[in-house]
A and B are shown apart, each in its own frame.
Chain A
Amino acid sequence: MIADAAPVVVADSLTKRFGSVLAVDSLSFELAAGTITGFLGPNGAGKTTTLRMLLGLAKPSTGNALIFGRPYADVADPALRIGAVLEATDFHPGRSGRDHLRTLATATSLPDARVDEVLRLVELEGAAGRRVKGYSLGMRQRLGLAAALLGDPELLILDEPANGLDPEGVRWLRDFLQAFAAGKKTVLISSHVLAEVAQTVDQVLIINRGKLVVESSLEQLTARVGGSVRVRTPERATLQQALQREQIETTIVNEQGLLVHGVSSEKVGDLAFAAGVPVHELAAEGSSLEDIFLELTSEPQP
């Protein structure tokens, strides 16, 4: 990541205490312009509380949250630089989608024409005149996104945007975010499911119990995936010897089964072919990104 300018978002020892509960515990990170960051952690890890502090809705107990170098409330006309969606359900059920957007556009002196533009952008123009109470969750998610996009922001902050979306909706959101970020824009997107954002983000912040556990690029995280490959072959011993010659670790599963560690299934297949060993089954197995994520977030913090 090239930090060619001041970071767009800075969390500096951000801490939030609710009574005796430490929801966010001296969390520090920076987001550079043009990055898509996944903000991950299990439910209750402190993600939403952190986002609320970044967006000026909650005051940090200690520490600072800066966006474009200043607290959110001090950014002039913030909707023109920052778009955010915290809940997919923040609508008056009796107001039409279009009117919802008009109330927000009016507050920032944006014309109604801009409302119609963002409705087209999220493909909601057909339902815009209907009252929100008749909207599906996916439509509400898109209406929330439309509101965030009204001011054509440079930074988008989305809290669990894929929640409740069907697979098609998730794909739509992914395509949308990639197109959005292509214009040197910055995205912070939270999720409790890594797989939801793994294809979208280029770096991840993983928090657990209010603390930062991992801050890395997606490649670095993927590199930690120590998967194994399961092979079934009638000539197990021959294959095992061939693999051992390449310093590849193996574990015997049964008469015909072998687990091969630390290499791709392609590599195992190629070596078996070179050794003239027939392969009846070949499958990558074990820790996926999700397993790593679960492992990172389930261990209790010291």
Chain B
Amino acid sequence: MIAQANAELLKIRTTRTTIGLVLGMVALTLLFSLLSGLLTKAPSLTSTEDQRGLLSVGSLAGVFSALAGVMLVTSEYRHGTIRPTFLFTPRRSRVIDAKLAAGLLAGIAFGIVGEGLGFGIAYACLAGRGIAYALDTGQTLLLVLGTLAGVALWGALGVGIGAIVRNQVGAIIGLLAWGFVAENLLFAFVPSVGRFGPIHAQNALMGLTSKHLLPAAAGGVVLLAWTIAFALAATAFAARRDVS
């Protein structure tokens, strides 16, 4: 299991996919943090919730860690490396578990970079413009650690999605369509259901307090439950299906 996890981490490090995702994440985080940090009018940045919104731009990293997780599985099916992978480790649950662990670790790395950058820029913008920092230590810790935990879980969730869907394009489109469209619509129209979606669970976990969101702890539990559910389904699917 440890050996297989090391192999999965090596796979992540030995193609340009990962560096591409990191660069994309850094570029988007820079863009959004700087734009909203510099251009938002000062009166709209004074409340705790306003500042939370600005300081949590780094949670974009979740999209990229999820994509990294999806790629870790689907690129193996796309390029056929899943065959040698399963020939070397025919216990498929061991491969999926190792990928989940690798996805989680990659997610932590994405989270540290993305959230570090987003939070740092946002904090610097507030300080540079002389706007008083409104969050107390507890709120700051919840924001930073909640984002990090959420981004890490998305890495594993991405692995789960990839292992269930297997088709790379399908999995990526499905992930983005759910994350950017479907769940937002669900939350807008049926918030009592939509708040249990993984994106809104992560928003809650970071301490965001907009209307209808779950409490932070509940958000964390819900996001973890999603991750575990996808992980179990991924293991069951991988064990059952033939590899062509």
Residues in chain A within 8 A of chain B (CB atoms): 52, 55-59, 72-73, 75, 78-79, 82, 84, 86-87, 89-96, 99-100, 102-104, 106-109, 147
B242: A residues at CB distance < 8 A? 52, 57-59
Interface residues on B, range: 20 to 34
Task: Give the Cβ gap from B99 to chain A, nearest Cβ, in Å.
Answer: 12
Q: Is B14 within 8 A of A91, CB to CB?
A: no
Candidates A56, A58, A89, A104; contact of B7 at CB < 8 Å: A104
A91: B residues at CB distance < 8 A? 79-81
In the bound complex, what is the Cα–Cα distance between A93 and B81 (angstroms)?
10
Q: Is B15 within 8 A of A103, CB to CB?
A: no
Task: Give the Cβ gap from A142 to chain B, nearest Cβ, in Å.
Answer: 14
In the bound complex, what is the Cα–Cα distance between A245 and B116 (angstroms)?
99
B17: A residues at CB distance < 8 A? 94
A52: B residues at CB distance < 8 A? 242-244
* B184 located at the interface, meaning its Cβ lies under 8 Å from any Cβ of chain A in the complex: no
In the bound complex, what is the Cα–Cα distance between A86 and B80 (angstroms)?
10
Task: Give the Cβ gap from B13 to chain A, nearest Cβ, in Å.
Answer: 9
Q: Is B81 within 8 A of A90, CB to CB?
A: yes
Chain B, 66-108, contact with A by CB distance < 8 Å: what is the 0/1 string? 0000000001000111011111111100000000000000000
* B16 located at the interface, meaning its Cβ lies under 8 Å from any Cβ of chain A in the complex: yes
Chain B, 226-244, contact with A by CB distance < 8 Å: what is the 0/1 string? 0000000000000000111
Mind listing 13 A-B residue pairs with CB under 8 Å?
A52-B242, A56-B86, A86-B87, A89-B80, A90-B79, A92-B15, A96-B14, A102-B10, A103-B11, A103-B14, A106-B3, A107-B88, A108-B88
* B4 located at the interface, meaning its Cβ lies under 8 Å from any Cβ of chain A in the complex: yes
Chain B, 121-135, contact with A by CB distance < 8 Å: what is the 0/1 string? 000000000000000
Q: Is B15 within 8 A of A147, CB to CB?
A: no
Q: Is A103 within 8 A of B80, CB to CB?
A: no
Candidates A57, A79, A102, A108; contact of B14 at CB < 8 Å: A102
Q: Is A84 within 8 A of B87, CB to CB?
A: yes
B16: A residues at CB distance < 8 A? 94
B83: A residues at CB distance < 8 A? 57, 86-87, 90
In the bound complex, what is the Cα–Cα distance between A104 and B88 (angstroms)?
7
In the bound complex, what is the Cα–Cα distance between A170 and B4 (angstroms)?
34
Q: Which of A79, A89, A104, A107 has the most CB of B within 10 A?
A: A107
Task: Give the Cβ gap from B22 to chain A, nearest Cβ, in Å.
Answer: 15
In the bound complex, what is the Cα–Cα distance between A90 and B3 (angstroms)?
21
Task: Give the Cβ gap from A137 to chain B, nearest Cβ, in Å.
Answer: 14
Q: Is A73 within 8 A of B91, CB to CB?
A: yes
Task: Give the Cβ gap from A48 to chain B, nearest Cβ, in Å.
Answer: 9
Residue of B nearest to A18 (CB): B242
B10: A residues at CB distance < 8 A? 99, 102-103, 106
Q: Which of B3, B17, B75 has the most CB of A within 10 A?
A: B3
CB within 8 Å for A103 and B7 given contacts A90-B84, A94-B17: yes
Q: Is A78 within 8 A of B14, CB to CB?
A: no
* B6 located at the interface, meaning its Cβ lies under 8 Å from any Cβ of chain A in the complex: yes
Task: Give the Cβ gap from B95 to chain A, nearest Cβ, in Å.
Answer: 8
Which residues 190-244 in B have Cβ within 8 Å of A in the complex?
A: 242-244
Q: Is B80 within 8 A of A90, CB to CB?
A: yes
